[in-house]
Structure 1
């Protein structure tokens, strides 16, 4: 369960140095934030020299503060002609500033001509202040900033990455002892790559001893300004400290991947891999992208609130915010996919539901940019029509055209994408160091080191998975002509949903489990209209009934793929045969213990949340392939692991040694 995030309060000493009232300490030396960042953290970690000729260089910082260390590092990366291809910066901050406060602080502090435009980009990209991880991208995604908002003691064990350098920059050990404690340093050691370095302004004896106990060999160096000495170090453990090594990039023979399925999941993968320099062959049984559930006239997107802030809520919130960032980048690049503005309104199921979630919003301090509780009167004014009761407005929620989004994602990939449309992937086969995908005539469609299954319910068949249960859900939509429908100002959800289109009101969808019928049904239209009337009491039932009786209702049937726990399958696939052979030793296994099917990944079973999960799922898989920091906490990623059902079966003794 996430805790309430308390933003930082801007304050200054008489000389203008930014100051934290909560910790009674300054954010940087009075001698200058940029100079301190360059001396202590860049030179202390031998940067930029150490990142040269590297594909990826990852830095972990404890204490983001005002962000000057990140800005200085980003500026140094830009100015270095021999820079690494990709720079990943991960920073933890318990009390982040609000975007407006950060912008004002930068205006006072960042007068340097090189840093000022970077500071403006950072403020423009600054995320909604919610707990957890936020992935920001700059320089065409070549520079990533992963902000971890919350307590370091809770968040550090949930990060999954391989760090090349550490910036230890919390408030002083005397003012913020938790951030300089042995548990923090041990958590950093679990993330340290070979010969990872660290730098910090403090030389406190207990800090040096705790770092040594965690495996860091530290020495004193010349300090900055009035501080005579500082501490630099290198990860050099004298004994094994960890059970699992930090992640490495997948050893691909060539940067070529096959993606099966051109819905939202597959097209998001195409764009995320292409942004990293991969070539992608996209295999789709239909003639174009977005023909299955992604071909619906519109889809809605919004966070998921729950009283206990469940795993599903946390994953959906992260996915929602990341998707918004990716869509804005696409729109800046000139792509359009009919994304609505003005928010999305959720109608509470009943008065108890409204009270409970209203209390949860207040208790967790969710900012109004994410969600706003609304009375019935406020909801009616927002919707522009009578509504059943109050609920919540998601200011950044809304609707868009999923097929147009699929096209935008593929177009953004440009020449990195090769299309194989109108082809059914029938089977896969391992050939030397690559995988081959064959069609129904047993002709090879494509061959690559990586195959990613984004083909919904057919993924488990094609991948040969026995322990990845999915089911199909038939969903019929109804288009109610505008003369018969209330004129809504924004999309509405609740028991069903209503999306205003130019020519109709889109409503639905039915939820028919294990129903493979693709026929339009009058009873399904009637079911959709009944739910719509429950949301919009101003709907004239006689008019709706007449339209139904006259057969004037258009609609569409599509099929969703769901898992028993209603979470998607995202990540590396397990080697089920190898796991069966080792069943006796894997009965108490954790996800990282399982053997994996080298080069096989999945991104499917998104149910009705493809819009908010597809981008995050693609970023997670791309990060796994590249050995980059994961874009969400490890426990959340493990909840999405396609091997989670195999893991449960092993723990329950259902998988026996020798099972084929």
Structure 2
């Protein structure tokens, strides 16, 4: 296969991606990176290429074997090898050319994943491997995500032309008969929902009352301007992800600097979760963990400093039965040792550097990191595209003529933009006016030990509580989980609770009884939902939904009306480190009409409109 094969067959015509902002290719099944590398090379060679090339490849776990070096493209091959992810199922997003070439690996069973990925494909390449019985299903799945006049090239199969025609494709003759070529041009409606489109910013009316932004909004490029409210992990991640796509960002924070609430803790632990079943929460956390590692490495490669550990993280099981069940799940799910390793009590003791109470499992790439360092690096990476406004509280937001305005407590306009993202934790539901107030506040108190029996701890320990060795005889422990408690003062009872829970994992701490009044600590507040999942994505137009409640009683998430240009990233609870970066990428992809970085069912599980959808289905507005 050569560049000419890609251009003549898969792409159809190089003019199709010329000067476009985004162009998406979907490949099923994956071929160890060969077509991706050839597509990448063709993109590099074309001066009229699209701004961003997305390549989505679907394949089984066996296709995650490390690709080899293509003789004709050794440099690009090596870049792909260096970025290759851990061999676990799910979606993996890899970025090249400063984010202008994006490879999303969708690893799993083909028929299942084709129904879960969400994108608008401009070109398809289909390799057929024993799929006779599923041809009709595959063709319909491709039609579900096909853009207008999307081209398709597939290996020849006698039943394929009929399946494609039934799904809305028009097949073209090929001289040699080795391939089937087609384009998506349905004569009837073949799907319930249109695949993702970019938010239509070019057609908005520039603001007239806010002179500073009115000037910057005079060109379509400058209309790519977003207001982000909240400068913690969520807001800074969104700032970096939008700026990487050329967006201007106005970041507004009520405190005097970045990372002053829970994101200001001295350190936080980052790790995925492994449960007995591969639940939605486990899959989302796995995706977030892996994507965060990728982005943090990219920030460090660009010269930004992240204060973090690299020795791994140890989770202590709740019981011996729990340890056995998780070890069985690790084996059943085929999770590799680069991701997680079950350990007995002796091995756990060796890893920890001191006795542990029970067996557990070890995450080689888990650890601790400074949230504030992440926030600083992300904002620095945004460069001149970022404008910050600290010490300013947003009292309300309004939309008029396609433009959002953020106002302070005196009614003064702070910023205007077509897009607003609420990343301000517990205050987000107030600004958004969410039905049923689905989020609650949680007070968390940390305890810092200056000198203790934990001084020899080698790696962070988590379980029912956590202990993080920060060096110089300093150990961070925590954290309390006080729902609806608004007390900002450090409490002795909180210190006692933290130390008792850590002692249940690390017995050497059991006899340690410092005077609570001499202990240092910190109090911060987090936001959580009743289902303990975050709120990430486009916010619903709840007024319109209520007015149309009878029709929407059987709605799906994509049926709900949305507030144009309004998004949320909040209620991360204690998982901001593993969810914030992935959440930011999801929101940026939704705004730009790009392929989503997670399966649609995962995105729906964190959709801010899910509580409204539940109320509609239960007839609460009838």
Aligned to 1:302: 271
Equivalent position SS for 1:586: helix
* Correspondences of 1:227-306 after superposition (within 5 Å): 229-252=178-201, 253=204, 254-306=223-275
Which one of the candidate residues 562, 569, 573 is aligned to 1:603?
569
1:548 aligns to 2:527 (yes or no): no
| Equivalent residue for 1:638, pick from 554, 579, 604 | 604
* Structure 1 portions without partners, runs of 5+: 1-33
For structure 2, which runs of at least 5 residues remain unmatched after alignment?
205-222
Q: What residue in structure 2 maps to residue 193 of structure 1?
A: 147
Are residues 1:337 and 2:306 paired? yes
Partner of 1:527: 497
Aligned residues: 601
Supply the distance in 2 between the matched residues of 1:67 and 1:326 (Cα, whole angstroms): 21
4+ residue stretches of structure 1 with deviation over 6 A? none
- Say if 1:197 and 1:232, in contact at 8 Å, map to a contact too: yes
| CA drift at 1:148 | 0.6
Contact map agreement 1:40 1:230 (CA 8 A) in 2 = no
C-alpha distance in 1 between matches for 2:268 and 2:330: 25
* 1:454 shift after superposition: 0.3
What does residue 177 of structure 1 align with? 132
Q: Structure 2 length normalisation: TM-score?
A: 0.95
1:142-176: CA deviation from partner (whole Å, max 9, x where unpaired)? 111111101111011111111100011243xxx44
CA offset at residue 54 of structure 1?
0.8
Contact kept in structure 1, 2:428 and 2:570, CA below 8 Å: yes
Distance 2:15 2:545 in 1: 43
How far apart are the structure 2 equivalents of 1:574 and 1:96?
40
Q: Please, which moves more after superposition, 325-334 or 477-486?
A: 477-486
Compared CA separation, residues 326 and 610, structure 1 to 2 (3 A)? same
Structure 1 residues 520 and 468: CA distance shift in structure 2, 3 A: same
CA deviations 1:43-76 (Å, max 9, x no partner) are: 4432433110211101111011211100000011
Query: Corresponding residue for 2:579?
Result: 613
1:67 correspondence with 2:33:
yes
Alignment match, 1:209: 162
Describe the shift of the 1:169–1:644 C-alpha distance in structure 2 as closer, same or farther (beyond 3 A). same
Q: Which residue of structure 2 lines up, in the alignment, with residue 111 of structure 1?
A: 71
Alignment of 1:401-412 (within 5 A): 401-412=370-381
Separation (CA, whole Å) in 2 of partners of 1:270 and 1:346? 32
**Please, which of 475, 499, 502 is the counterpart of residue 505 of structure 1?**
475
Determine if contact 1:40/1:200 at 8 Å carries over to the other structure: no
| 1:509 shift after superposition | 0.1
Shift of 1:482: 2.6
Per-residue displacement from partner, 1:548-577 (whole Å, max 9, x unpaired)?
A: 25x321000001100000000000000000
The change in CA–CA distance for 1:548 and 1:41 in structure 2 (over 3 A counts) is farther
Q: Distance in 1 between matches of 2:155 and 2:144?
A: 22
2:32–2:64 Cα contact (<8 Å) kept = no
Q: Secondary structure at the match of 1:181?
A: helix
Please say if 1:164 is aligned against 2:122.
yes
Counterpart CA distance in 2 for 1:428 and 1:157 is: 37
Whole-angstrom CA distance in 1 between matches of 2:295 and 2:621 = 40
In structure 2, the CA distance between the partners of 1:484 and 1:364, relative to structure 1 (3 Å rule), is closer
Distance (whole Å) between structure 1 residues aligned to residue 327 and residue 62 of structure 2 = 24
Instruction: Tell me the secondary structure at the aligned position of residue 366 of structure 1.
Output: coil
CA distance in 1, matches of 2:135, 2:436: 42
Is 2:475 the counterpart of 1:515? Answer: no
**Contact 1:265–1:604, Cα closer than 8 Å, also in 2:** yes
Question: What CA distance in whole angstroms lies between the structure 2 residues aligned with 1:614 and 1:448?
Answer: 22
Tell me, yes or no, if structure 1 residue 436 matches structure 2 residue 405.
yes
Distance 2:621 2:87 in 1: 43
The residue aligned with 2:550 is 584
Q: Give the match for residue 105 of structure 2.
A: 147
Aligned partners of 2:7, 2:49: CA distance in 1, in Å? 17
Instruction: Confirm or deny: 8 A CA contact 1:60 1:91 kept in the other structure.
Output: yes
CA distance in structure 2 between the partners assigned to 1:462 and 1:361 by the alignment: 42
Q: Distance in 2 between matches of 1:48 and 1:377?
A: 60
2:139 & 2:368 partners in 1: Cα distance?
A: 44
